[in-house]
Amino acid sequence: MKNTIQYIFIFIPFFVFSQENLTLEDAIKIGLKQNFEIQLSKKNLEINKLNNNLGNAGGLPTLNISARQEKAISDQSDNPTSFIQEILKSESINASANLSWTLFNGYGIKANKEKLNQLEYLSNGNLTIILENTTQAIILSYYNCILQNERLTLLQNVVNLSRERLIYQKTKYDIGVSSKMELLQFENTLLIDSSNLLTQKLNYRNSVKNLNLVLGIDLHSEWNFIDKMKSETQVFNYLNLQEKTLLNNTNIKNQSINNEIIRQDITLAKSAYYPIVSFNSGASYNESVYDVGNSGFDGDNTGETLNYYANISVNFRLYDGGKYKKLLQEAEIRQDINNINLESQKRDVLNKLSVSYEKYNSKIVIHNLSKKAFEIAEINYQIANDKSNRGLINSFDLRDIEIAYLNSGISYLQSVYSLNESYLDLVKITGGILEVSE
């Protein structure tokens, strides 16, 4: 028996690590900065912002400048058929500039620019979804660490009491006022509780690793969790929640943006039936120098030319084999599809809202019942321990009360976590989870 007690004392103590304080706010800040999906989504948003300009929409002119220098040598000194039998040299410089600008293409420029705006909005909406999902994951992971730690504390307290009772029972057994069966019962209880404690320690350490994974940091980082799980409840008006959901839900917003993109595609398809008005201008300069050797020519051997132009052109497509008509029809069909998807998205989100709303209200009731049950079980457990010390209750009845205390404590802690989980589901659907994290 002495060896058993010593073994338990050696094997059970808490492991001590260097820990840093971590609040929920700090955890969210770390996660939103380090999370890889967020970093990638931000880069995609940067790309769409760079692409969103009037030049990519076709609304700015294009200017091309070119220059060329040429040198040529023609040896005609031994050519009897040449009019000038000398080494002829020439050198020329050519430069040109061309400007073209589409002034009107059936509102295609405006539609292109608006489409680029919507693509940027959609990229920002995708980033928002990732931010919402990551924020929810961080909060729940943080709360899960608290849950596992409090369960660990609950089990540790029970183990401490079991150890004290075993030592006390061993003393009673040694002086002959307790039976061997009761002593073995207390020893078995301590061994079972110790085993459960070790399992719970593993659960707690795994929950910390999962949090570190969500935060995007070293998996072996240790934390001292400052905040506690919230147990406050809030009364919501369902009609107000519906209104907020239809207005702020990110998935609905993104689907609406997709509809707007398709609307601009229809405008682009219709622009093919309008004339294209373009402005073009340019200039070219040429300078040539000739060297005819000793031919006796003493005239000017340098020539210069300058040409420039400016015009407005109008192009109108009369027939294209039905190509653009089919593109327009396809865009209109895709608009119908997106409208259906939007209505489906709204119905799906509102259904999730209804489920989450009822779930949250039920979790409030479960939490209140679990809290009351735990308070009663705790008082009963204290009374049972006192009666056990005075010999007024046997070890079997005490163990039943102890198990009831443990189960009610675990149920209460789980109800607090579930209450927060359902609350986050509700505010996420209504588009307010990022405000909760602020």
According to DSSP, residue 120 is labeled H
Residues 157-181: what's their mean pLDDT?
Answer: 79
Question: Do residues 88 and 290 make contact, with C-beta atoms less than 8 angstroms apart?
Answer: yes
Question: Do residues 230 and 418 make contact, with C-beta atoms less than 8 angstroms apart?
Answer: no
Burial of 212 (0-12, 13-18, 19+ CB in 10 A): buried
Helix (H, G, I), strand (E, B) or coil at 393: coil
Confidence of residue 107 (pLDDT cuts 50, 70, 90): confident
Residues 365-386: what's their mean pLDDT?
Answer: 93
10: Cα within 13 Å, side-chain hemisphere: 6
Residues 414-422: what's their mean pLDDT?
Answer: 96
Burial of 252 (0-12, 13-18, 19+ CB in 10 A): buried
Query: What is the predicted pLDDT for the residue at 244?
Result: 94
Q: What are phi and psi of 298, to 5 degrees?
A: -120, 25
Q: What are phi and psi of 64, to 5 degrees?
A: -120, 135
> How does pLDDT run across 244-253, given as a tens digit for each residue?
999 999 999 9
Token readout for 196 is 């459960």
Token readout for 224 is 């001292």
Confidence of residue 349 (pLDDT cuts 50, 70, 90): very high
Query: What is the predicted pLDDT for the residue at 76?
Result: 63
Residue 435's beta-bridge partner residues? none
Helix (H, G, I), strand (E, B) or coil at 432: coil
What is the distance between the terminal CA atoms of the chain, rounded to a whole angstrom? 55
- What is the percent of the chain with per-residue pLDDT over 70, rounded to a whole number? 88
Q: Which residue has the higher pLDDT, 401 or 17?
A: 401
Q: Please give the helix or strand (H or E) that residue 91 lies within, else none.
A: strand 87-104
DSSP percent split of the chain into helix, strand, coil, nearest 5: 65, 15, 20
Question: Do residues 304 and 284 make contact, with C-beta atoms less than 8 angstroms apart?
Answer: no
Question: Do residues 263 and 55 make contact, with C-beta atoms less than 8 angstroms apart?
Answer: no
Query: What is the predicted pLDDT for the residue at 137?
Result: 95
Helix (H, G, I), strand (E, B) or coil at 21: strand
> How does pLDDT run across 63-85, given as a tens digit for each residue?
999 988 888 776 666 666 655 65
- Which among 59-63, 268-272, 364-368 has the top mean pLDDT? 364-368
Helix (H, G, I), strand (E, B) or coil at 20: strand
**Strand 223-225 to strand 20-22: parallel, antiparallel, or no bridges (unpaired)?**
parallel
Query: What is the predicted pLDDT for the residue at 185?
Result: 80
- Which among 273-287, 312-326, 360-374, 395-409 has the top mean pLDDT? 360-374
Q: What is the mean pLDDT of the chain?
A: 86
Token readout for 406 is 């443990």
> Domains in the chain, please, with CATH?
2-63+104-278+321-436 (1.20.1600.10)
Residues 10-24: what's their mean pLDDT?
Answer: 64
- How many Cβ atoms from other residues are within 10 Å of residue 299's Cβ? 6
Query: What is the predicted pLDDT for the residue at 295?
Result: 52
**What is the DSSP code string of 276-328?**
EEEEEEEEEEEEEEEE-TTS---S--EEEEEEEEEEEEEE-----TTHHHHHH
Helix (H, G, I), strand (E, B) or coil at 12: coil
- Rounded CA-CA distance 183/168 in Å is 10
- Rounded CA-CA distance 232/72 in Å is 91
Query: What is the predicted pLDDT for the residue at 85?
Result: 59
- How many Cβ atoms from other residues are within 10 Å of residue 139's Cβ? 24
**What is the DSSP code string of 66-82?**
EEEEEEEEEE-TT-TT-
Q: Which residue has the higher pLDDT, 17 or 86?
A: 86
Helix (H, G, I), strand (E, B) or coil at 350: helix
> How does pLDDT run across 360-371, given as a tens digit for each residue?
999 999 999 999
Burial string for 36-47 (b: 16+ CB within 10 Å, else e) reads eebeebeeebee
> How does pLDDT run across 216-242, given as a tens digit for each residue?
888 899 999 999 998 888 999 999 999
Confidence of residue 300 (pLDDT cuts 50, 70, 90): low
pTM comes to: 0.81
**Length of the chain as a residue count:** 438
Q: What sign has the CA pseudo-torsion 142, 147, 153, 156? A: negative
Query: What is the predicted pLDDT for the residue at 135?
Result: 94
Query: What is the predicted pLDDT for the residue at 18?
Result: 58
Q: Give the range among 19-28, 71-80, 418-427 with minimum mean pLDDT.
A: 71-80
Burial of 96 (0-12, 13-18, 19+ CB in 10 A): middle
- Rounded CA-CA distance 172/397 in Å is 19
Residues 365-394: what's their mean pLDDT?
Answer: 89
Question: Do residues 56 and 112 make contact, with C-beta atoms less than 8 angstroms apart?
Answer: yes
- Rounded CA-CA distance 374/382 in Å is 12
Question: Do residues 377 and 404 make contact, with C-beta atoms less than 8 angstroms apart?
Answer: yes
